[in-house]
Structures are given as C-alpha cells and as structure tokens.
Amino acid sequence: MLAATVRVAGDIDLAEECVQDAYARALATWPVSGIPTKPGAWLTTVARRRAIDHLRQRNVRDRVLQGLYVVESEDGVETNITAMSDDRLRLIFTCCHPALSSEAQIALTLRLLCGLTTSEVARMFLVPESTMAARITRAKKKIVAARVPYRVPSSDELPERIDAVLTVVHLLFTTGHTAPGGSELVRRDLVERSLVLARMLRSLLPDSPDVAGLLALILLADARSRTRVATDGSLALLSDQDRSQWDAAEIAEGLSLVREALQRRPPGRFALMAAIAAVHAEAPSWSATDWRELVGLYELLVRIWPSPVVALNRAVAIGLAEGPAAGLVALDELTTEPQLASYRYLAAARADFLSRLNRLDEARDAYEVAIALTDNAVEHEFLALRLAAIVS
C-alpha cells in the first residue's frame, strides 16, 4: 500500500499519512458496510485518492511530481519499469539512493516498505531503538531536503544500487526466518516476500552472481523451514531435524545457483553465505557435516565482510570442528564487541559450550543472559528448558 501510494504522492510522509487515513476509514465503515471482496485493493485505492486530494488542496501537485517523482524516458528505463512491476521492489530501489548512507538506505527501506517496526530494525543493526528511530527520521528528512527523485534507476545506475537492495532483501529474509519477537519462530509473510523480491531481482539482473548468491541462500535456508519446529511447537535444532523432510526442489535450485555464484573470483559475500548453506544442505546428517570446511568459508567471509555476527558464526563452527574449549576461546574474544553486547546468540552459544565442558555454574549464568535478551517465545522456551536441565 505504501509503495503504491508513494508513486502518487511523491512524498514518503504524505504517503504514510494517507495509508493511515485509509485504515482509519476502513475501521469506521467496514463494520457497517462489510469487508470488501478485495480489502487490500480497497485500502490502496482509498490511500491513493487521499494522496491526490492532498496534492490538489496544496495546489502543488505538478511541482511535487516533477521534483520528487521523476520517471524519465531515457533508453533502457522503460524496460526496467516493466521488469520491476512490483511497487515494493521499485520503491526499494528508490530508497536505496546513493545520496543516503548505506545504513540509512537499508533502515528506511526495512521500516517503510518491508513492514518491520523500528524496534525490529534496531535489533537487526544491533543498536538501541532510539538510535534507529533518529536515523530513520534523518533519512526521510534528507530525501525531502535533497529533493531525491523517486524514479526507477536506469541500467547503468543499477550497479551502485544493487548491494543495498540485496542487503535489504537478505535482512528481510533473516527477520522472517527467525522472528525477533512474538509467539511464532517464523514469519512466513516476510520469508515469502523476500523470496518473491529475490526472484524479481534475478529476472532483472540474470547475470549477477550476487543476485544468484542471495536467491540461493534464501532457497537453501528456506528448504529446512518445515522441520525447524517440532509437532509440539518447540524449537528443533539443526542436529535434530529430519533431513528427509527438507524441500528437495528448493535445495536443487539453490545448489545450482551456488555453483553459478561461485564462478566469480573472488566470490562475493552472498555467494559465500550460500556456499555455507549448501554445506548443510548436502550433509547427509549432523555428524557428517564438514565443520572444517565451514570454518574455512566463514574465514573467507569475515575477510570480505567483517561483521561481528559472521565472526560469531565462525567461532561456533570452530567449536563444532575442534571442540567446545576451542569454540569458547573464539567466542570469548568477541565479548568486548559492542554490537554483540545485546545479541542473544552470543550468550546462547557460550552457554552451550560451557555446558558441554561441564562448567555448569557459568553455563547457567550465560543461559540466563540469553533468556533475558530473547523476545521470541519459541526460542525463549527452548533456552528455558536448557537452563532447567542444568539446574536439575
């Protein structure tokens, strides 16, 4: 709705206001008239009409559309408009304008177009919610002040936009794959949206190894979705999942895309992440997983993408390849990393390795920290059961 309304309004804040007005009107009229056959289309139409009314009242419609939403007729642009038929993808490219910092591009797109709350976006960046709220506000103001045009990028502009767009789609998937809060482990709406957007990017840029890598990563991770929660609703670790229930078609497509993405030298970060997912997908069992290969892939990844989360995953892989003592040493090297101070998986990983080493008092403390940092109900219950097993 927001993406479609921005195309008419030419202004993010105005579009948000009109979308809110549409929901308010629905709440007032639907109890009396009944829910329309296509409620989404109804809401979008009302929001867009409201935007047009605002522009007419201001008597500045022509200026806004010319200054803020520019669809040019340069060679190649119309082709891109056809390829990017989805309003969300079109506006993702718009929000990822190089006039904004990369962090602002990603945060703004996740907040406005992907349905994530400011709190969820803040967690993905490992920063306080107030910091993220200020960052998003500044980005929106810069779009207005700098008169950033709302237009579809031409073919020669796509390369400078694509990395931020891929990052947005990847973060959208990871948020859906393991929801940061709520009663469900997975948010299927976000997972499916990220997959649709990744496929659209693949159609738009069929020769891009980065796009191939991202699509492969999403497919290979999503292939395990049906086994991640047990029949009783509890969390099922990768080591306990029935691999015969993994989606063979998604795995086959993902592996083919991984091979394509890895042909570029050196491989990009999405290709390496997809290669890591491929190792898990091809392993016949947990015990047969090649953890040393995973350590090597994580070391390559952390060199080209020095993320604290990647370093954490590398430390866990070390522990599974060389033993919990080695893994704990690698994890403890990250405890002074500011971005991981409130990251629940660091505490959870330490708790697991400490438990394996029979350092139960320390493991109990680490589990308590992880539980305090966890808002997802399924993960919270899993950690609580692990803690209870130590205490008893």
Furthest-apart CA atoms within the chain: distance in Å: 72
Query: What is the distance of C-alpha 96 from the center of its chain?
Result: 15
Locate tokens 């990052």: which residue?
Answer: 167
Identify the pLDDT of residue 132. Answer: 92
Residue burial 69-85, b: 16+ Cβ < 10 Å; e: rest: beeeeeeebeebeebbe
Q: Confirm if 97 and 144 have CB atoms less than 8 A apart.
A: no
122-144 confidence digits (pLDDT tens):
887 878 899 999 998 888 888 77
Identify the pLDDT of residue 205. Answer: 86
Q: Classify strands 181-182 and 375-376 as parallel, antiparallel or unpaired.
A: parallel
List the chain residues with pLDDT less than 50. 61-62, 64-85
> What does the domain layout of the chain look like in residue ranges?
2-69, 207-289
How open is the CA angle 309-310-312, to the nearest 5 degrees? Answer: 65
State the DSSP H helix or E strand holding residue 66, giving kind and residue range, or none if neither. helix 61-68
Report how far residue 134's alpha carbon sits from residue 144's, in angstroms, rounded to the nearest whole number.
16
Handedness of CA 188, 189, 195, 198 (dihedral sign): negative
Report how far residue 82's alpha carbon sits from residue 201's, in angstroms, rounded to the nearest whole number.
12
Identify the pLDDT of residue 306. Answer: 93
Please give the structure tokens belonging to residue 345. 């998986």
Instruction: Give pTM, 2 decimals.
Output: 0.78
Q: Residues for the chain: how many in total?
A: 392
Q: Confirm if 180 and 376 have CB atoms less than 8 A apart.
A: yes
Identify the pLDDT of residue 55. Answer: 77
- Residue 141 CB partners (closer than 8 Å, separation 6+): none
Identify the pLDDT of residue 139. Answer: 87
Report how far residue 69's alpha carbon sits from residue 79's, in angstroms, rounded to the nearest whole number.
18
Collapsing DSSP states into helix, strand and coil, what is residue 171?
helix
